[in-house]
Amino acid sequence: MKKWLFPVVLVTTLVACSASNESKQQANDTYQKSDAALPLFAPLNTAGVNLPKQDTTYQLPQVKLKKADQVDIRPPETPLAIIQNSIAQFDGQRALIAYPLEKSAVYNLQQVARLLKEQGIGYQLTNDKMTTDWAPTGRSDEIGDTQVRYEIEQVSSGNYSALFVSILQMKRDEVVFSPNLADKQRYSSDRLNQLVGELDAAYRKQVRELNNSGLMPIQSTLGKDSNGRTALILGAPFNHAWTKLGQVLPQLEFDIKDDMMGRGVRELKYSPAGAKSWWWPFGRTEGDTGLKKGTYFMQLSALGRQSAVVMTDDEGNALSGAQSQAVYQALQNLLAK
């Protein structure tokens, strides 16, 4: 038992010591490893027969090639212009991406802070500049435990905004070192691509969920909002209710003139199309039970996991009586489909 146990342990130790992450970063093809001379074959014995000479037309030239150093096969890391109408580059110290100002609601330091928090990376945020704690690079081809401290900055000028990522410090296996230009380009660009890519994916997922949720029916009931006004209480959160109402209001002949989602307000223009409106309770007549042609407003407010919608006239007065009952009943019927 003892005679063969030692050789097995020795072989296992040698194999473990020979494993290295360098093979993940450098070329490992036959050319780079072909230091040994090519085999030489002796000519065949012709037994006195004169064989024709080989045609040299397609013969490769015999030249001596100098073996090069192992090549780093990792693709060059450059900032990617993932955002539409954006420009990305590395200026020698920082990786940056500039994009239209209206897209800064999605790509900003607050969203970056949310991502870092989800990844368990600490940071200090001061005005428009963020400094992270030591963070892993997230790359699978690293040699040793490589960590980086990043500086992330947002700048706005004119109609454009920009995110900058630069390297403050680097350390490998707890040894701090000064990164060279290639390191700065690789790691700053890689982190910027990662952040922007994740923000873009989260935004697209949110839009897709909103579009899909807008098709789901919403159960509702008449009630009162926080101000005591007659309202339609919807069993759906704000975003879902906002999307669904935008789909059903035109079916009630409300033309949406202005859309202010941040305030939860839509400006509506009501114009009944005569005989086509006979089947809407509030479109039959312009009396106590009918809704007059004109401008109206829809106010949507969040109530936890529910929301409340209030219809008002152009003076801000909530609809009441038979008018509100008819409008809310029609909305209730369409929202439930």
Task: Give the pLDDT confidence of 299-312 residue by residue, as tens digits.
Answer: 999 887 899 999 99
One domain for residues 172 and 279 = no
One domain for residues 191 and 240 = no
One domain for residues 104 and 208 = yes
One domain for residues 100 and 207 = yes
One domain for residues 144 and 120 = yes
Residue 23: is its pLDDT beyond 80? Answer: no
Percent of the chain with pLDDT over 90: 35
Higher pLDDT, 47 or 316: 316
Q: Which of 220, 105, 83, 202 is nearest to 154 (CA)?
A: 105
Higher pLDDT, 289 or 291: 291
Domain count, the chain: 2
Residue 68: is its pLDDT beyond 80? Answer: no
Structural domain including 200 reads 87-212
Give the end of a domain, one of 170, 191, 212: 212
One domain for residues 254 and 312 = yes
Q: Which of 82, 80, 97, 77 is nearest to 153 (CA)?
A: 97
- Output the domain CATH number for residue 255: 3.30.310.170
Mean pLDDT for all residues in the chain: 80
C-alpha distances (whole Å) from 139 to each of 25, 177, 186, 217, 227 are 11, 18, 11, 44, 54
Residue 330: is its pLDDT beyond 50? Answer: yes
49 assigned to some structural domain:
no
16 assigned to some structural domain:
no
**Least trusted range by pLDDT, from 14-28, 95-109, 153-167, 177-191:** 14-28
Which pLDDT tens digit goes with each residue over 80-112? 998 989 999 999 899 999 999 989 889 999 999
Would you state the torsion angle of the CA atoms of residues 113, 119, 123, 125, taken in this order, to the nearest 10 degrees? 0
- Output the domain CATH number for residue 104: 3.30.530.50
Give the end of a domain, one of 212, 231, 252: 212
One domain for residues 266 and 173 = no
33 assigned to some structural domain:
no
DSSP state of 276: G
**pLDDT of 169:** 94
Residue 268: is its pLDDT beyond 70? Answer: yes
One domain for residues 161 and 229 = no
Residue 136: is its pLDDT beyond 70? Answer: yes
179 assigned to some structural domain:
yes
176 assigned to some structural domain:
yes
* CB-based contact 155:165 (threshold 8 Å): no
Residue 10: is its pLDDT beyond 50? Answer: no
**pLDDT of 132:** 95
Residue 16: is its pLDDT beyond 50? Answer: no
32 assigned to some structural domain:
no
Task: Give the mean pLDDT of 228-251.
Answer: 89
38 assigned to some structural domain:
no
One domain for residues 156 and 263 = no
Predicted structure pTM score = 0.50
35 assigned to some structural domain:
no
One domain for residues 204 and 252 = no
Give the end of a domain, one of 159, 194, 212: 212
One domain for residues 102 and 173 = yes
One domain for residues 185 and 224 = no
Residue 70: is its pLDDT beyond 70? Answer: no
Reported confidence tier of residue 290, pLDDT bands at 50, 70, 90: low
**pLDDT of 108:** 92
